[in-house]
Amino acid sequence: MKALVLHKKGDLRLDEVEKPSPNENEVLLRVKAAGICGSDIDRVIHGGVYSFPLIPGHEFAGQVEQVGAGVDPNLVGKRAAVFPLIPCKKCPSCEIGQYAQCEDYDYIGSRRNGAFAEYVVAPAANLVLAPNDNITYEELAMCEPAGIAMHAVRLANIDIGDTIAIFGAGPIGLLLAMIAKNTRGCKVLLVDVDSKKVDFAKSIGFADAINSLETDPIEWISEQTDGIMADVSFEGAGVSKSVENCLLATRKFGKVIGVGIPHKDITVSMQAYQVLLRRQLSLIGTWNSLFSSLPKNEWKLTANLIANGTIDVSPLVSHRVSLSVGIAPIEMMAKREEFFNKIMYMP
C-alpha cells in the first residue's frame, strides 16, 4: 500500500509499504479521509515522535475492510471514525473510563502507525460508526478535533444563552463556537490575531469576530456584554497574551477554560492575576475527550450532532490533498504560507 512514512525529522515520504493486517480484536480500515492536526507539524517537521519510521495521522475515518479474530464480521463495510488513543485498561484512570488520562497508552499516528496511508489498523473498540448515511468521511474525520471542542464545552458547563469569548479562531475554536452556539444558544465572541481567520469566521456565520491587533478585545467584549464581560472564556491559542485576555474578558464568578497547548512559558500580568482572584474566576484545564459510555461518549455525541445536522463541520475543510503531495501541506502549515483551516489527505 502507499503511505506517508516519517523516516526522520522533516523527512516524510510517500513509500510503498506492506499492507497491515488486523490482529485479535482489531480491524483493518481503508482510509478515506485523514486530517492534518496542528500537532502533526511538531511530529513531522521537528521529529516529535516516539520512534522512526512512523506513519502519522490520527484524525481519520475509513471503511472497515477486514476484521481480526474476536471481532464481529458484520463490521466489514461499515464506515467509521476512530478514537486514536489506545488505553491500557489497567491503570487507575482506565478503571474509571478516563482514557485520556491513561498512564500507559498507545496512540495511532504518534506511537504506532497512523492514517496518512491507504490502510490503517485499529482496535475494534475504538471505532465510532457513522450514525447514518448523511455523514461524510470528511465529517467523520472531524470527530477528533470536534470531540476535543465538545469536551471543553461540556467541562465548561455552559448555561443556555451564555455569552462566550473564544480566543483563537482555528479549527478547534470554530468547532467550540459551533457546538456552543447550536447546542446551548450561546452568543459567541471570537478573537484572533489573523484577519483571514476572522474573515473566515464571519463567512460561516460568526459575525461577532475581531482581530485583536486592530481592536482592543477587552473593550470590545465589554461593549458586547454591557460591561458584564463573558460568562465563559476559552483559551485556544496557548500563548500568554491570550491567557491574559481570557482572564480580563471574563465576568465575576465566570469560567476560563484552557484548551490551547502552549509551546513556551505562560506569564500573565499582576492585574490579570488579581482579576482571577477578585472576580473569583474558575480556571479549568481540558485534555482530549471522553470515550467511555458513562456519562457520555463524546465522540458518539459529536458524530450524532454532525449526522443530524446540529453542527455543520464541512466548511472547515479548507484543503483536500492526495498522499502524493507528501510533506508539502504540513510545511505550508508550519510556514503559514496560505490560509488554511483543516487540511485533509484523501488517500
Interaction site with Zn ion (CB under 5 A): 37, 87-88, 91, 94, 102
Residue 145 or 254: the one with the smaller Cβ distance to Zn ion is 145
Q: Which residue is nearest to Zn ion (CB)?
A: 37
Residue 60 or 212: the one with the smaller Cβ distance to Zn ion is 60
Q: How many CB atoms lie within 10 A of CB 255?
A: 22
Residue 280 or 293: the one with the smaller Cβ distance to Zn ion is 293
Least distance (Å) between residue 59 CB and Zn ion = 5
Count how many Cα atoms sit within 13 Å of the Cα of residue 204 in the half-sphere of its side chain.
25
Least distance (Å) between residue 90 CB and Zn ion = 6
Nearest 5°: the CA angle 316, 322, 324 is 145
Residue 39 or 63: the one with the smaller Cβ distance to Zn ion is 39
Q: How far apart are CA 188 and CA 279, in angstroms?
A: 21
Least distance (Å) between residue 38 CB and Zn ion = 7
Asked whether the beta carbons of 249 and 217 are under 8 A apart, the reply is yes
Residue 271, judged by CB atoms within 10 A of its CB (0-12, 13-18, 19+), counts as exposed
Least distance (Å) between residue 295 CB and Zn ion = 19
Q: Is 8 helix (H, G, I), strand (E, B) or coil?
A: strand
Supply the DSSP symbol for 112. Answer: B
Residue 94 or 229: the one with the smaller Cβ distance to Zn ion is 94
C-alpha 206 chain-centroid distance: 19
Residue 255 or 340: the one with the smaller Cβ distance to Zn ion is 340
Closest residue by Cα to residue 259 from 288, 280, 231, 282: 288
Residue 88 or 261: the one with the smaller Cβ distance to Zn ion is 88
Q: How far apart are CA 135 and CA 244, in angstroms?
A: 38
Q: How far apart are CA 110 and CA 286, in angstroms?
A: 20
Least distance (Å) between residue 146 CB and Zn ion = 11
Residue 9, judged by CB atoms within 10 A of its CB (0-12, 13-18, 19+), counts as middle
Least distance (Å) between residue 214 CB and Zn ion = 30
Least distance (Å) between residue 71 CB and Zn ion = 22
